[in-house]
Amino acid sequence: MYKNGISYSTTIILMLLSHAAMLGIVFARGNYENISDLLLLAGAVLGLDAIGIIASLCYRQMTYTLDLMLLCILNISLIFQSCFGGVHLSIKHLATCVAALVACEAGFYLTRNHEWIRRQKKWIYILIALLMLVIIFLTDDQKKWITFGSFSIQPSEFIKPCYVLVCAASIVELHKKVKVLFFYVSVDTLILCGVTLLILGLQWWCHDLGSLPTFAAIFGCALVCRLCYPKAKINKTAIIAMCVAGVLVLIAAWSLAPDYVQRRLHVDIWADRYGDGYQQCEALIGIARGGWLGVGAGQGHLHNVFAYDSDIVFCTICEEWGLLYAGLTVLIILIMLMTVLMNPPKSYYHATMTCGIVAAFLAQMTLNIFGSCNLIPFTGVTLPFISAGGSSMLTCGFLVGMLKAGQSPLFRHERLKRKPQKGSVTA
């Protein structure tokens, strides 16, 4: 019934081989002073692999591909992050990887029952409101971070999975419509639009414009899904009007963007090589220096550039590991997202949810990779699973858990079969 593509044992062997190969490359070409640094890293990577494999055996599940791929990419990320500027185990990144794995399971168990999670929508709205209040009142001057000692949390990251959940909708919700002016619109869609405006407004206010396209992508997917729900009368005029409205909003945002954004939108990085274009110029030079196979783990220069392990991490990987390896890493993330096509969701709610998750990941990858390579304006967002940052890793882990839930859902009637409950049961 559920597809995994490759057998469990083969998947594990491939994962272990990929990590062993990377550690071998670090051994051969890496920049390390003591072999103990490398052994520590190898121990952490293979240890995490072992714990992940054993843990996955301890609970029953219908699909395992996504679990093992998440483990695979997180350990790849750990090797990358531990090698920037010289081989040394990044304890902080290891901790965030473990947290991401835990968040993944949390996301899975919370969202696998589509009826239950749908009924919690009002609480999710409340959670979003609370997170917005936290951003307004508890973050630093830049309105992005809450700092505890050497740790920082970015609350806006946690809004993303919540927002994906409120964007997901059931057919029942979409059928409940009210007349607004000349249009019949579902109440759920109206509330969603209001919340979206509030979130986008907040992001604009706190200058976190890098996250705007991610929220916009999730909202766009939700809108498309809502227009195409079963038996919906797709009004071509409405679709055209919405497209026009979207373009107008884009133009307005483009022209009304603050000065620092305008500079990024219009900067000729090579003409401003040591000014606004410095980061991207160095990043592109790093990619060129790395070529196909890289200069060796920890042998690059980009670790001297600001945000080398987050905003321009793709370029740092290209420099040290080569474009080939960076491309393979991107491919692994894409295959993770493609597993949704292998095991299609079984409910409309999960279908809309997975669309939102894929849109969120792709939007962030697009902004990070193409932005740092000067193909689109540079916004400074993290690369999912790879960039350093606990908030981002936790969110990514949680979203992967949701993606997994969409592939191996728990239906209420199955639960009832196993454990009959008293009281009325709604269909």
Partner 1 sequence: MKSIRRGQHLITLMLLLFLAAFGYLVYRLTAEAGYYMSNADSTSLGFVYDRNGDVLFDPDADAAVYGDHFIDIGNLIGDDSLQMTNTLVAQNKDLLANYSFMLGEQNDGKAAIYTSLDHAVNRKVYDAFGSKDGCAVAYNYKTGEIYICTSKPSINILNHYTDIDTLASGSMLCSVFYPTVPGSTQKVSTTIAALETMGYDALMSRSFSCSGSYTNLTGDAINCHNASGHGTQNIVQAFANSCNPFFAQLVEDPGWTLDDIISVYRRMGYRVNGEGEQSSLDVNGITAFTASTTLTNKQEFNTQWGCMGQGETLVSPLQLMVWESAVANADGIATMPYLIDHTTTVRGEVQNQAVPAFGKKMFSAESAAHVRDIMLENGRNTSEYAAILPGTDVGVKSGTAQVENGSKENSLLTGFVDDPDFPVAFCIVINDRVRGEVTASQIAAVMMQNLKSAAA
Q: For partner 1, which is the closer residue by CB, 299 or 392?
A: 299
By CB under 8 A, tell whether 425 contacts partner 1: no
**Part in contact with partner 1 (CB under 8 A); list of ranges 16-24, 148-156, 190-198, 369-377:** 369-377
Contacts of 283 (CB under 8 A, 6+ apart): 302, 305, 312, 315, 316, 372, 373
**Residue carrying the six token digits 């920037």:** 84
Figure out which of the listed residues 230, 419, 420, 426 binds partner 1, where binding follows CB under 8 A.
230
Site map (CB under 8 A) of partner 1, residues 389-418, x = contact:
------------------------------
Helix (H), strand (E) at residue 418: helix 412-418
Does residue 307 belong to the site contacting partner 1 (CB under 8 A)?
A: no
Angle CA(44)–CA(47)–CA(53) in degrees, nearest 5? 140
DSSP character at residue 382: P
Query: Within 13 Å of residue 92, how many CA atoms lie on the same side as its CB?
Result: 10
Q: Which is nearer to partner 1, 109 or 278 (CB)?
A: 278
State which of residues 241, 270, 275, 414 lies at the interface with partner 1 (CB under 8 A): 270
Hey, what are 167's tokens? Answer: 């964007």
Query: What character string, x for contact with partner 1 (CB under 8 A) and - otherwise, covers 275-294?
Result: ------x--xx-xxxxxx--
Least separation in angstroms between residue 154's CB and partner 1 is 24
Nearer to partner 1, 80 or 349 (CB): 349
349 Cβ neighbours under 8 A, 6+ residues apart:
114, 115, 117, 118, 168, 169, 170
Tell me the site size for partner 1, rule CB under 8 A. 45
Which residue, 290 or 390, has its beta carbon nearer to partner 1? 290
Which range binds partner 1 by CB under 8 A, 147-155, 192-200, 207-215, 360-368? 360-368
In the list 337, 383, 400, 410, the residue contacting partner 1 (rule: CB under 8 A) is 337
Q: Where are the beta strands (DSSP E) in 338-419?
A: none
User: Nearest to residue 219, comparing CAs of 235, 236, 240, 242?
Assistant: 242
Please report how close the Cβ of residue 350 comes to partner 1 at its closest, in angstroms. 8
Listed residue (293, 300, 295) closest to 328, CA to CA: 293
Task: Kindly write out the interface string for residues 372-391 of this chain, putting x where it contacts partner 1 by CB under 8 A and - elsewhere.
Answer: -x-x----------------
Question: How far, rounded to the nearest angstrom, does the alpha carbon of residue 316 sit from its chain's CA centroid?
Answer: 19
DSSP state of 366: I
**Residue written as tokens 């044992």?**
9
Would you give the DSSP letter of residue 370? I
- Positions that interact with partner 1 (CB under 8 A): 171, 221, 224-225, 228-230, 270, 273, 281, 284-285, 287-292, 295, 323, 327, 330, 334, 337-338, 340-341, 344-348, 351-352, 354-355, 358-359, 362, 365-366, 369-370, 373, 375
